[in-house]
Amino acid sequence: MITCLFFVKKSNENIAQLLTSLKNGETWAFREIFEAYQKKLYHFVFAITKSNFATEDILQEVFLKIWMKKDRIDVSRSFDSYIYTIARNHTYNYLRGVANQESLRKEVWRNLKYCYQQTENTLLLAEYEAIVNDILEHLPVKKRSIFILSKQQGKSNQEIADLLNISTKTVKNHLWKASKLIRLQLQPYISDTIISLLLLSYFF
């Protein structure tokens, strides 16, 4: 036990030394940090995106941010927590962006099928669309129209506002309320992660 603690302490000291060198602009320190974290972060991000292309793109952004904001790194705090938080945030930003890109929406839908295969949800994946459509049928007309224009037809908030002659704030409000209602009614059946992917991709 003492030996294990010694190596953990030694490892933490090495990371602290690397970070200090990184903050001083040493490129060799950046390369070592990249080599130490690249593979672990790849598995972490890929587990969410299930896309090699997206994962590689996200990791480039993560390490670019580490380098560009190296002077802000707090050596006294956990670097693991810091870099994984950055990776998580960039990954979630990617997922949010998926909703506005048809080709990526299709990729998320394929990934959703994979996610389902790894879970023990009580419903078949093919039934999800019917459930969401049934929920939409019972939404107020304006909320349903705005949700479909946004999620199904990929229109921006401004385009929807112009089309319906309402403010973008009203569009955002209706989208938020519609998504909340759908989420609440889906929760008894499937996990929050899959619900989020459903709302992002909306079966496209």
% the chain with pLDDT above 90 = 14
Evaluate whether 2-98 and 102-201 have a shared fold: no
pLDDT digits (tens, 9 = 90+) for 172-193: 988 888 888 877 776 665 555 5
**Which pLDDT score, from 0 to 100, does residue 157 have?**
87
Tell me the average pLDDT across 51-65: 88
DSSP 12-77: HHHHHHHHHHHHTT-HHHHHHHHHHHHHHHHHHHHHHH--HHHHHHHHHHHHHHHHHTGGG--TTS
Q: Under 8 Å CB-to-CB from 105, ≥6 apart: which residues?
A: 98, 99, 154, 200, 201, 202, 204
More confident residue, 190 or 122: 190
The CATH fold assigned to 2-98 is: Rna Polymerase Sigma Factor; Chain: A (1.10.1740)
CA–centroid distance for 155 within its chain: 21
Domain 102-201: which CATH class? mainly alpha
- pLDDT of residue 64 exceeding 50: yes
Torsional sign, CA 43, 44, 45, 50: positive
**Domain-by-domain residue ranges, the chain?**
2-98, 102-201
pLDDT digits (tens, 9 = 90+) for 73-85: 888 888 888 898 8
